[in-house]
Structure 1
Amino acid sequence: MSEKKAPSVLQGFKAFLMRGNVVDLAVAVVIGAAFTGIVNSVVKGVISPVVGALGTQSLDNYSSCLKAPCTGTGANATGVRILWGSVLGSTLNFLITAAVVYFLMVLPMSRFLARQEARRKAKESTDEVVEVTELQVLKEIRDALVAQHNSGRIGS
Protein backbone atom coordinates (compact mmCIF):
# COMPACT_ATOMS: atom_id res chain seq x y z
CA MET A 1 0.00 0.00 0.00
CA SER A 2 1.15 3.51 -0.67
CA GLU A 3 1.48 5.84 2.24
CA LYS A 4 0.18 9.37 1.98
CA LYS A 5 2.51 12.03 3.24
CA ALA A 6 1.11 14.56 5.63
CA PRO A 7 1.35 18.07 4.21
CA SER A 8 4.30 20.04 5.45
CA VAL A 9 3.88 23.01 7.73
CA LEU A 10 4.70 25.38 4.90
CA GLN A 11 2.16 23.73 2.60
CA GLY A 12 -0.47 23.97 5.33
CA PHE A 13 0.39 27.64 5.91
CA LYS A 14 0.17 28.35 2.18
CA ALA A 15 -3.23 26.63 2.00
CA PHE A 16 -4.39 28.68 4.99
CA LEU A 17 -3.32 31.94 3.36
CA MET A 18 -4.89 31.05 0.03
CA ARG A 19 -8.34 30.41 1.49
CA GLY A 20 -10.75 33.14 0.50
CA ASN A 21 -11.95 33.97 4.00
CA VAL A 22 -8.45 34.98 5.15
CA VAL A 23 -8.09 37.40 2.27
CA ASP A 24 -11.61 38.72 2.86
CA LEU A 25 -10.81 39.25 6.52
CA ALA A 26 -7.62 41.13 5.68
CA VAL A 27 -9.51 43.39 3.28
CA ALA A 28 -12.20 43.97 5.90
CA VAL A 29 -9.61 45.02 8.49
CA VAL A 30 -7.95 47.48 6.10
CA ILE A 31 -11.27 48.94 4.97
CA GLY A 32 -12.46 49.07 8.59
CA ALA A 33 -9.38 51.05 9.61
CA ALA A 34 -9.96 53.56 6.80
CA PHE A 35 -13.67 53.69 7.63
CA THR A 36 -12.85 54.44 11.29
CA GLY A 37 -11.12 57.63 10.19
CA ILE A 38 -14.21 58.74 8.27
CA VAL A 39 -16.56 58.04 11.16
CA ASN A 40 -14.28 59.73 13.71
CA SER A 41 -13.95 62.83 11.54
CA VAL A 42 -17.74 63.09 11.14
CA VAL A 43 -18.22 62.70 14.89
CA LYS A 44 -15.45 65.15 15.86
CA GLY A 45 -16.05 67.66 13.07
CA VAL A 46 -19.84 67.75 12.88
CA ILE A 47 -21.64 65.98 15.70
CA SER A 48 -19.46 66.94 18.69
CA PRO A 49 -19.56 70.70 17.96
CA VAL A 50 -23.35 70.53 17.72
CA VAL A 51 -23.53 68.67 21.03
CA GLY A 52 -21.02 71.12 22.50
CA ALA A 53 -23.15 74.08 21.41
CA LEU A 54 -26.12 72.60 23.25
CA GLY A 55 -24.23 71.76 26.42
CA THR A 56 -20.67 71.05 27.46
CA GLN A 57 -17.97 69.68 25.20
CA SER A 58 -16.33 67.51 27.86
CA LEU A 59 -18.10 65.51 30.52
CA ASP A 60 -14.83 64.17 31.96
CA ASN A 61 -14.76 66.71 34.80
CA TYR A 62 -18.10 65.63 36.29
CA SER A 63 -17.70 63.39 39.32
CA SER A 64 -19.11 62.59 42.71
CA CYS A 65 -17.24 62.16 45.97
CA LEU A 66 -17.95 58.81 47.59
CA LYS A 67 -15.61 59.26 50.55
CA ALA A 68 -14.58 62.76 51.64
CA PRO A 69 -12.38 64.70 51.37
CA CYS A 70 -12.11 64.59 47.56
CA THR A 71 -9.35 67.01 46.69
CA GLY A 72 -6.73 67.06 43.96
CA THR A 73 -6.51 65.09 40.76
CA GLY A 74 -4.44 62.17 39.48
CA ALA A 75 -1.82 60.79 41.90
CA ASN A 76 -2.41 63.65 44.36
CA ALA A 77 -6.13 62.89 44.73
CA THR A 78 -7.56 62.07 48.15
CA GLY A 79 -10.86 60.40 48.94
CA VAL A 80 -12.85 58.16 46.65
CA ARG A 81 -14.13 59.86 43.54
CA ILE A 82 -16.69 58.37 41.11
CA LEU A 83 -15.97 59.69 37.60
CA TRP A 84 -19.48 59.31 36.22
CA GLY A 85 -18.94 62.09 33.69
CA SER A 86 -16.24 60.06 31.96
CA VAL A 87 -18.55 57.04 31.70
CA LEU A 88 -21.40 59.21 30.43
CA GLY A 89 -19.11 60.89 27.88
CA SER A 90 -17.84 57.55 26.57
CA THR A 91 -21.38 56.21 26.36
CA LEU A 92 -22.57 59.27 24.43
CA ASN A 93 -19.54 59.05 22.13
CA PHE A 94 -20.38 55.39 21.42
CA LEU A 95 -24.05 56.17 20.74
CA ILE A 96 -23.17 59.09 18.47
CA THR A 97 -20.63 56.97 16.56
CA ALA A 98 -23.11 54.10 16.23
CA ALA A 99 -25.80 56.51 14.96
CA VAL A 100 -23.41 57.99 12.38
CA VAL A 101 -22.44 54.51 11.15
CA TYR A 102 -26.06 53.34 11.00
CA PHE A 103 -27.70 56.39 9.43
CA LEU A 104 -24.91 57.40 7.04
CA MET A 105 -23.55 53.99 6.04
CA VAL A 106 -25.66 50.95 7.01
CA LEU A 107 -29.15 52.26 6.26
CA PRO A 108 -28.35 53.65 2.79
CA MET A 109 -26.46 50.46 1.87
CA SER A 110 -29.34 48.28 3.10
CA ARG A 111 -31.81 50.27 1.02
CA PHE A 112 -29.55 50.04 -2.03
CA LEU A 113 -29.18 46.27 -1.66
CA ALA A 114 -32.94 45.85 -1.12
CA ARG A 115 -33.65 47.77 -4.35
CA GLN A 116 -31.18 45.61 -6.26
CA GLU A 117 -32.76 42.44 -4.84
CA ALA A 118 -36.24 43.67 -5.80
CA ARG A 119 -35.02 44.37 -9.35
CA ARG A 120 -33.45 40.91 -9.54
CA LYS A 121 -36.66 39.24 -8.32
CA ALA A 122 -38.77 41.29 -10.74
CA LYS A 123 -36.52 40.21 -13.61
CA GLU A 124 -36.74 36.56 -12.53
CA SER A 125 -40.54 36.71 -12.29
CA THR A 126 -40.71 38.28 -15.75
CA ASP A 127 -38.54 35.47 -17.12
CA GLU A 128 -40.80 32.94 -15.38
CA VAL A 129 -43.93 34.46 -16.90
CA VAL A 130 -42.38 34.30 -20.36
CA GLU A 131 -41.38 30.67 -19.83
CA VAL A 132 -44.83 29.74 -18.55
CA THR A 133 -46.47 31.51 -21.48
CA GLU A 134 -44.27 29.70 -24.00
CA LEU A 135 -45.09 26.40 -22.33
CA GLN A 136 -48.80 27.16 -22.49
CA VAL A 137 -48.55 28.05 -26.18
CA LEU A 138 -46.77 24.78 -26.90
CA LYS A 139 -49.43 22.83 -25.01
CA GLU A 140 -52.16 24.59 -26.98
CA ILE A 141 -50.41 23.75 -30.27
CA ARG A 142 -50.09 20.11 -29.19
CA ASP A 143 -53.75 19.97 -28.18
CA ALA A 144 -54.80 21.54 -31.50
CA LEU A 145 -52.69 19.06 -33.47
CA VAL A 146 -54.10 16.13 -31.48
CA ALA A 147 -57.65 17.42 -32.02
CA GLN A 148 -57.01 17.93 -35.72
CA HIS A 149 -55.47 14.48 -36.03
CA ASN A 150 -58.39 12.87 -34.16
CA SER A 151 -60.99 14.70 -36.23
CA GLY A 152 -59.24 13.55 -39.41
CA ARG A 153 -59.52 9.90 -38.32
CA ILE A 154 -63.18 10.15 -37.48
CA GLY A 155 -64.08 11.61 -40.86
CA SER A 156 -62.07 8.99 -42.88
Structure 2
Amino acid sequence: MRAVIQRVTQASCTVDGVCTGEIKQGLLVLLGIEEDDTDSETEWVAHKLVNLRIFSDEAGLMNKSIQDIAGNILLISQFTLIAQTRKGNRPSFIRAAKPNKAEQLYQTMSERLSALLNKQVQMGVFGADMEIDLCNDGPVTIILDTKE
Protein backbone atom coordinates (compact mmCIF):
# COMPACT_ATOMS: atom_id res chain seq x y z
CA MET A 1 0.00 0.00 0.00
CA ARG A 2 1.31 3.40 -0.90
CA ALA A 3 0.00 6.77 0.27
CA VAL A 4 1.01 10.22 -0.89
CA ILE A 5 0.14 12.67 1.86
CA GLN A 6 -0.11 16.38 1.21
CA ARG A 7 -0.63 18.92 3.97
CA VAL A 8 -3.24 21.32 2.61
CA THR A 9 -5.06 24.51 3.49
CA GLN A 10 -7.94 23.28 1.33
CA ALA A 11 -8.71 20.39 -1.03
CA SER A 12 -11.73 19.13 -2.93
CA CYS A 13 -12.74 16.35 -5.31
CA THR A 14 -15.19 16.82 -8.17
CA VAL A 15 -16.74 14.08 -10.33
CA ASP A 16 -18.87 15.04 -13.33
CA GLY A 17 -19.24 18.58 -11.99
CA VAL A 18 -20.38 17.43 -8.51
CA CYS A 19 -18.24 17.96 -5.42
CA THR A 20 -17.85 14.59 -3.65
CA GLY A 21 -15.56 15.73 -0.86
CA GLU A 22 -14.13 18.98 0.43
CA ILE A 23 -11.91 19.96 3.35
CA LYS A 24 -10.20 23.00 4.77
CA GLN A 25 -6.97 22.53 6.78
CA GLY A 26 -5.83 18.92 6.85
CA LEU A 27 -4.48 16.15 4.66
CA LEU A 28 -5.14 15.13 1.08
CA VAL A 29 -4.32 11.41 0.97
CA LEU A 30 -3.84 9.67 -2.38
CA LEU A 31 -4.03 5.92 -1.73
CA GLY A 32 -2.68 3.15 -3.96
CA ILE A 33 -3.56 -0.44 -3.08
CA GLU A 34 -1.54 -3.47 -4.21
CA GLU A 35 -2.88 -6.96 -4.88
CA ASP A 36 -1.14 -8.45 -1.83
CA ASP A 37 -2.34 -5.75 0.59
CA THR A 38 -4.54 -6.79 3.49
CA ASP A 39 -6.49 -5.18 6.31
CA SER A 40 -3.29 -5.00 8.39
CA GLU A 41 -1.82 -2.48 5.92
CA THR A 42 -4.90 -0.26 6.27
CA GLU A 43 -4.53 -0.37 10.04
CA TRP A 44 -0.83 0.60 9.93
CA VAL A 45 -1.34 3.41 7.39
CA ALA A 46 -4.39 4.81 9.21
CA HIS A 47 -2.57 4.98 12.54
CA LYS A 48 0.48 6.52 10.89
CA LEU A 49 -1.66 9.15 9.12
CA VAL A 50 -3.42 10.38 12.24
CA ASN A 51 -0.21 10.45 14.29
CA LEU A 52 2.26 12.00 11.82
CA ARG A 53 3.50 15.26 13.33
CA ILE A 54 3.57 17.42 10.20
CA PHE A 55 1.58 20.48 11.30
CA SER A 56 3.26 23.51 12.82
CA ASP A 57 3.21 24.24 16.52
CA GLU A 58 3.39 27.71 18.05
CA ALA A 59 7.15 27.86 17.35
CA GLY A 60 6.66 26.97 13.69
CA LEU A 61 8.06 23.46 14.11
CA MET A 62 6.32 20.39 12.69
CA ASN A 63 5.21 18.95 16.03
CA LYS A 64 1.44 18.56 15.72
CA SER A 65 -0.63 15.77 14.22
CA ILE A 66 -3.91 16.08 12.38
CA GLN A 67 -5.60 15.05 15.62
CA ASP A 68 -3.88 17.88 17.49
CA ILE A 69 -5.19 20.51 15.07
CA ALA A 70 -8.64 18.91 14.62
CA GLY A 71 -7.93 18.76 10.89
CA ASN A 72 -9.73 16.85 8.17
CA ILE A 73 -8.81 14.23 5.58
CA LEU A 74 -9.78 13.96 1.93
CA LEU A 75 -9.08 10.35 0.86
CA ILE A 76 -8.66 9.59 -2.86
CA SER A 77 -8.14 6.15 -4.38
CA GLN A 78 -5.34 6.27 -6.96
CA PHE A 79 -4.17 2.99 -8.50
CA THR A 80 -1.53 4.81 -10.58
CA LEU A 81 0.61 5.12 -7.42
CA ILE A 82 1.36 1.42 -7.85
CA ALA A 83 2.82 1.91 -11.34
CA GLN A 84 6.05 0.13 -12.18
CA THR A 85 8.20 2.26 -14.48
CA ARG A 86 11.62 0.59 -14.41
CA LYS A 87 11.21 -1.06 -17.85
CA GLY A 88 9.98 0.67 -20.99
CA ASN A 89 8.02 3.89 -21.24
CA ARG A 90 4.52 2.61 -20.53
CA PRO A 91 3.74 2.20 -16.81
CA SER A 92 2.71 -1.27 -15.68
CA PHE A 93 -0.10 -1.60 -13.16
CA ILE A 94 0.14 -5.38 -12.76
CA ARG A 95 0.74 -5.08 -8.99
CA ALA A 96 -2.34 -2.91 -8.43
CA ALA A 97 -5.20 -4.63 -6.62
CA LYS A 98 -8.22 -5.72 -8.66
CA PRO A 99 -11.14 -3.27 -8.34
CA ASN A 100 -13.26 -5.35 -5.92
CA LYS A 101 -10.41 -5.82 -3.47
CA ALA A 102 -9.11 -2.27 -3.84
CA GLU A 103 -12.52 -0.71 -3.26
CA GLN A 104 -13.08 -2.81 -0.14
CA LEU A 105 -9.72 -1.76 1.34
CA TYR A 106 -10.35 1.88 0.33
CA GLN A 107 -13.66 1.77 2.25
CA THR A 108 -11.93 0.09 5.19
CA MET A 109 -9.31 2.85 5.24
CA SER A 110 -12.03 5.51 5.28
CA GLU A 111 -13.83 3.77 8.16
CA ARG A 112 -10.61 3.40 10.17
CA LEU A 113 -9.63 7.04 9.68
CA SER A 114 -13.14 8.24 10.55
CA ALA A 115 -13.08 6.18 13.75
CA LEU A 116 -9.62 7.41 14.76
CA LEU A 117 -10.51 11.07 14.09
CA ASN A 118 -14.06 10.84 15.45
CA LYS A 119 -15.33 12.57 12.31
CA GLN A 120 -16.28 11.65 8.77
CA VAL A 121 -13.45 11.41 6.27
CA GLN A 122 -14.22 13.07 2.93
CA MET A 123 -13.75 10.89 -0.13
CA GLY A 124 -13.50 10.73 -3.88
CA VAL A 125 -15.44 8.20 -5.94
CA PHE A 126 -13.69 4.88 -6.44
CA GLY A 127 -12.88 4.22 -10.09
CA ALA A 128 -14.19 7.59 -11.28
CA ASP A 129 -12.40 10.22 -13.33
CA MET A 130 -11.84 12.79 -10.59
CA GLU A 131 -10.66 16.38 -10.56
CA ILE A 132 -8.68 17.22 -7.43
CA ASP A 133 -8.18 20.84 -6.42
CA LEU A 134 -5.78 21.60 -3.59
CA CYS A 135 -3.56 24.17 -2.02
CA ASN A 136 -0.48 22.40 -0.67
CA ASP A 137 0.63 24.01 2.58
CA GLY A 138 4.40 24.35 2.92
CA PRO A 139 4.62 22.53 0.58
CA VAL A 140 4.63 19.37 2.66
CA THR A 141 4.33 16.08 0.78
CA ILE A 142 5.21 12.70 2.33
CA ILE A 143 5.12 9.21 0.87
CA LEU A 144 4.21 6.20 3.03
CA ASP A 145 4.87 2.74 1.64
CA THR A 146 4.08 -0.40 3.63
CA LYS A 147 6.71 -2.31 1.62
CA GLU A 148 9.57 -0.13 2.89
TM-score norm. by structure 1 comes to: 0.19
Q: If you compute each CA radius of gyration, which structure gives the higher value, 1 or 2?
A: 1
Q: RCO greater where, 1 or 2, for CA within 8 Å and sep 6 or more?
A: 2
Larger strand proportion of the pair: 2
Larger helix proportion of the pair: 1
